[in-house]
Amino acid sequence: MNTANIPNSSLTKCIVYFKDGNSRTFYSFDKSHRNSKPNKALGIRRLEKMLMHRFKGMWETAIIYENFYKGAELAKYKDGVRLF
Amino acid sequence: MENRDNVKCYFDFTKVFTKTKNYIDIHNNKHEELKKRLNANHRATAELITRLYAKQLNRAVSLGKDIKTQLPGFKTFNPSLATCKGCTTRTIINHKERLKAAGFIIKEIHRGKAGIELWINPLIFDDRVKNLHPLVHEQQEQNNNNSSVDKLITSEKEGVRYEAHKQSNNCVTRTAHEQYMNTEESRISDSENQTWRKKKSSVRESESAFLLHLVLAFWSYARAALYKDLIFCEAEKNEILNNIWASIYKKFRVEGSKKDWENHQIILYKRIDMVSRWLKRNPNRWIPAPHLYFHPENTRNDFRKTHKWYVKQETLKRNIRNQILIQKIEAEWKDHVKSIYKNKAKTGLQLFRLQQQRISVYKDEALIRAFEQSLQRTVLNKFTS
């Protein structure tokens, strides 16, 4: 997959509000290999892993949305705890 | 034709389409033979031609050409019509033949690289067609033998693409047919295949709801017992359910009655209970996340391994039950020898028959063997003592 094209092709995105005041959007990588069918659950799991391991203790709130205009909230995390 | 002012005239698409439809309906009413009739696919081609032709004429009018006296021909290419309709050029050629036979196309000229030029029946692009309106509205899709509509019951679970049935996709030709699917071999063209599918689906319809309920019930039970604290969104839940369906229920490929499946479900619940007890016994024990625990390709630490536990537990239970029964029988014989308690009035044979009857209820060969051995022991003891 072309990494530059990820925001257009990914199924979910995660907006992270860091403790230092910054916020950043991450787009999910939904494929297990190049030609595989996109797996939404896999993308969500990877985002969650990123939050819980890579950015552990660095963020305050994180929300996972469906990656389209006015996409629904799929998961919300506050201080390392999943709220829904 | 719509006269907006005296100078320019435009073709109204609605009127042209109505005229096309009426023309084909009248033609079909006249001809009973299937080969002469125009089916929905021919109709779609006719509509496509009409639409493009009207568009071309309107453009010509807007460019200032005078088409009042004589209509110019419809200039096009077979391949472009084919891509527009989503079929092969051969289909377009065949359809044109049929439309020519019906009198819809009155003339065709091949211009080599410049494509083809078609002349459509002037009735379509003339007001005179207005007089041919039928008194009763006729259904456009009547007597369509090739239609797949209402002939096949499909469900999402079977993996049938719903997109193929969406009418919105067919807006080019304005029919409920899968024009763009026409380039490949038709999925349901075979009539035998159709009836087979119909039968199969009707049988499965009643069962599938029950089987789906089994999967859902299993997941809710497992979640309550093993994954109380975890939260899952819809996508994750669907993935887990798919994994359960594939690994634990083997995609329901195993033949079995409703009762068999219910018994299997009870065993599964017992296995989950075993796992939860196993987890409670030691805080260091863990099981993987549900998408892995129920994954069909996970052979290391998946739920299916608990089947061994279950078998082991059941055999152990049975052995203990057998031991208790045999002990009871031996005690009865001892009491009989001493002629005390309730069996003192019975003869040896009566007691033996009674015990045999009691044991045969369990239908366990190992138990019967153990019973025989215990009898031999008691008999030997009787003689020695």
Supply the ipTM of this predicted assembly.
0.90
With CA atoms as reference, the chain A residue closest to B289 would be A45
Structure confidence by residue, pLDDT tens digits, B355-373: 888 888 888 888 888 888 8
Name the token pair of B345.
């009035």
Q: What is the pLDDT of residue B135?
A: 59
Q: Nearest by CB to B235, from A44, A82, A84: name it.
A: A44
Q: Which of residues 222-251 of B touch A (CB under 8 A)?
A: 231, 233-236, 238-239
The CA distance from A9 to A3, in Å, is 10
pLDDT at B174: 47
What's the pLDDT score for residue B166? 47
Q: B161, B230, B236: best mutation site toward chain A, by most A Cβ within 10 Å? A: B236
Distances (CA, A) of A50 to A44, A45, A74, B42, B85: 10, 9, 16, 56, 47
The answer to whether the CB atoms of A40 and B231 lie below 8 A apart is: no
Q: What is the pTM of this model?
A: 0.53
Which chain B residues contact residue A45 at CB under 8 A? 236, 291
| Chain B residues with CB-CB distance to A73 below 8 A | none
Phi, psi of B182 (to 5 degrees): -75, -15
Task: Write B314-320 long-range contacts (CB < 8 A, 24+).
Answer: B318/B364, B318/B366
- Does the beta-carbon distance from A44 to B239 stay under 8 Å? no
Instruction: State the average pLDDT over residues B85-106.
Output: 91
Cα–Cα distance between B237 and B90 in angstroms, integer? 48
Band (A74; pLDDT cuts 50, 70, 90) = very high
Partners of B235 on chain A (C-beta within 8 Å) are 40-41, 44, 74
Which of B227, B229, B230, B233 is the best mutation test for A, with the most CBs of A within 10 A? B233
Q: What is the pLDDT of residues B258-303, one digit of tens each?
A: 899 999 999 999 999 999 999 999 989 999 999 999 999 988 888 9
CA angle, A37 then A41 then A47, to 5°:
110
Q: How far apart are CA B1 and CA B339, in angstroms?
A: 116
Backbone angles phi, psi at A77, to 5 degrees: -125, 140
A74, A81, A83: best mutation site toward chain B, by most B Cβ within 10 Å? A74
Extract the tokens encoding B222.
């497992």
B125: confidence class by pLDDT, cuts 50, 70, 90: confident
Alpha-carbon span B282 to B278, nearest angstrom = 7
Identify which has the larger pLDDT, A38 or B201: A38
Residue B2 — very low, low, confident or very high, per pLDDT cuts 50/70/90?
very low
Residue B225 pLDDT grade (very low, low, confident, very high; cuts 50, 70, 90): very high
- Residue B163's pLDDT is what? 45
> For position B1, what pLDDT does the model report?
42
- Chain B positions in Cβ-Cβ contact with residue A32 (cut-off 8 Å): none
Q: Which of A39, A42, A44 sits opposite B233 (nearest CB)?
A: A44
Long-range contacts made by residues A66-72, C-beta under 8 angstroms, separation at least 24? A66/A11, A66/A12, A67/A7, A67/A10, A67/A11, A67/A12, A67/A13, A67/A27, A67/A28, A71/A13
- To 5 degrees, how large is the angle CA A13–CA A15–CA A21? 160
Interface contacts (A, B; CB < 8 Å)? 22
- Chain B residue with the nearest C-alpha to that of A40: B235
Does the CA dihedral B241-B247-B253-B256 come out positive or negative?
A: negative
**Count of residues in chain A:** 84
The predicted structure's pLDDT at residue B143: 59
**Longest CA span, chain B:** 132
